[in-house]
Amino acid sequence: MPKEKGALWGVAIGWLSSLKLTLVLFFALAASSVVGTLLPQGVSAPELMGHFSPAAVSLIDLLGLNNLYHSIWFRVLLLLLCMNMVACTVERLPKTVRFIRRPEDPFDSRKLSKFSSSASIVTPLSQEKAQSIVETAVGESFGPLRRIGPPGPFCAVSEKGRWSRLMVYGVHASVLIVLVGALVGSYVGFKGTMNLFEGETSDEVLLAGEQEVKELPFMVRCDKFDISFYDTGAPKEFRADLAIIDKGAEVLKAPVVVNGPLTYRGITFYQASYGTTLKGAAIELTDGGSGRTIAMDLPFRKPVNIPGTRERLTITEYEQDLMRFGQAIEIRFEKEGQQPSSQWILVDRPFHGNMIENYQVRVVRADRVRYTGLEVKNDPGIWLVWAGFTFMTLAIGLTFYSSHRKLWVCIEPDTKGKKSVVALACRISRNAQAFEGKFESLRARLEKDLIQ
């Protein structure tokens, strides 16, 4: 059994760390992001009906494409990519570290002659004098030499950027930070709308693409709303003066305009829209049985009991032009032991159909008020995303502009023992042309100093 578990674990790690999986996930996320950019986000299914066919709306709603960045499958893609990056690092990092820390293999002049960038200089100087000249020249051009192997022929290495191979894992880490930030924003963050009248205070946000209300940890009050227009009638600017009330105390007052949001405790308010809606209505009810007339004031979306009864009414919706009949309000009737019922009532036109249960309804006055439409957004993972992108920029820069440079030197007596042979070879991981030019300069200098 342990062997089977080990084999399964190896297969799982191999699948998670595969480059094919990385490419598939990247392309899937890229395609999803294109869809999320082209398709309006935070739009409910009923709102989509005006733009797409019922079948398309059903598919969009089923896949959560109208709230793509909070959908389960998009989160699964992000999570799989995170696991892929971790698996790649876990599998390859130890091998890279072992390769970096591996001791230098012994070498001689014959081995160095096989390098593409190599040189051999015969000098009449002794090995000790040649060694002194070579150490000085290499130290000034490349870096100090580190001797390799036993006494005898002088074999040494000058090396820089040994740890540059690890820079790619810095890129891995930065991508992982960005993905974790995206996951945090997807799971913990939210986006929604808040409509406030002048003077109204609320802590409720209608979440985008959902019929769910989220309560903020503080209250928001709209003190004033102004809108200005161009001569053509197009809106020029709309502005809301907001106040933040936290734990019963007013802690912040600031205007919110288009492209000028307000942020408090990580929650940002954007000026998104405006409109006119109902604040309340004064109505007269005529009881169809007794003929009694009852005057009532109904605030918008707040239930009010009908005097002398256990019945209550609530204005639930308002339309400025219902089916071209003008203003209309939807009134909900509730009574104990009876199913609630609703009815649209025309405001500007007396109509025999303005009935709710046994009551004839006449709208005496409809009080309208302007409201500001705020987009409310909270993304606690945004700082991780920014940190990840900053780290990624640094890591990519270090990856491309740092290199592993290595120079081998071997000084040994020639076959007759009267002269010395200085063998050189070099290798670099990138920008080889510039490094070879430096190597040629070193070779020319050594030929001048060694062949006197």
For range 254-259, the mean pLDDT: 89
The domain total for the chain is 4
Express each pLDDT in 332-384 by its tens digit.
999 988 899 999 999 988 777 789 998 999 999 998 888 888 999 998 888 99
What are the residue ranges of helices labelled H in 102-163? Answer: 109-112, 127-141
> What is the distance between the alpha carbons of residues 274 and 291, in angstroms, rounded to a whole number?
42
Same domain? For 7 and 91 the reply is yes
Same domain? For 205 and 350 the reply is no
Is 346 part of any domain? yes
At 452 the pLDDT is: 64
Same domain? For 256 and 378 the reply is yes
Structure tokens at 118: 């190599």
Q: Label residue 311 by pLDDT band (50, 70, 90).
A: very high
Same domain? For 21 and 52 the reply is yes
Q: Label residue 167 by pLDDT band (50, 70, 90).
A: confident
Q: Label residue 166 by pLDDT band (50, 70, 90).
A: confident
> What is the distance between the alpha carbons of residues 259 and 215, in angstroms, rounded to a whole number?
25
Same domain? For 255 and 322 the reply is no
Q: How far is CA 296 from CA 167, 221, 312, in A?
A: 74, 27, 11
CB 242 within 8 A of CB 343: no
**CA neighbor of 216 nearest in space, from 206, 208, 205:** 205
For the domain that residue 437 is a member of, what is the CATH number? 3.30.160
At 439 the pLDDT is: 87
**Structural domain for 131, as ranges:** 105-161+404-450
> What is the distance between the alpha carbons of residues 214 and 101, in angstroms, rounded to a whole number?
55
Task: Please state, as a whole number, how many other Cβ atoms lie within 10 Å of the Cβ of residue 130.
Answer: 24
pLDDT at 307 over 50: yes
Same domain? For 382 and 409 the reply is no
Angle, nearest 10°, between helix axes 432-450 and 127-141? 150
For range 11-23, the mean pLDDT: 81
Same domain? For 89 and 121 the reply is no
Same domain? For 360 and 381 the reply is no
Is 397 part of any domain? no
Is 417 part of any domain? yes
Of 56, 71, 100, which closes a domain? 100
Same domain? For 6 and 95 the reply is yes
> What is the distance between the alpha carbons of residues 367 and 358, in angstroms, rounded to a whole number?
25
Is 311 part of any domain? yes
* Secondary structure of residue 102 in the 3-state scheme: coil
More confident residue, 52 or 211: 52
For range 301-326, the mean pLDDT: 89
Is 244 part of any domain? yes
**CA neighbor of 289 nearest in space, from 340, 360, 362, 350:** 360
pLDDT at 149 over 80: no
Is 78 part of any domain? yes
At 279 the pLDDT is: 86
Same domain? For 79 and 15 the reply is yes
**CA neighbor of 139 nearest in space, from 157, 123, 151:** 157
Mean confidence (pLDDT) of the chain: 86
Same domain? For 381 and 248 the reply is yes
CB 218 within 8 A of CB 203: yes
Q: Label residue 1 by pLDDT band (50, 70, 90).
A: very low
Express each pLDDT in 84-106 by its tens digit.
888 888 888 888 888 888 888 88
Is 9 part of any domain? yes
Structure tokens at 303: 């239930």
Same domain? For 238 and 327 the reply is no
Is 170 part of any domain? no
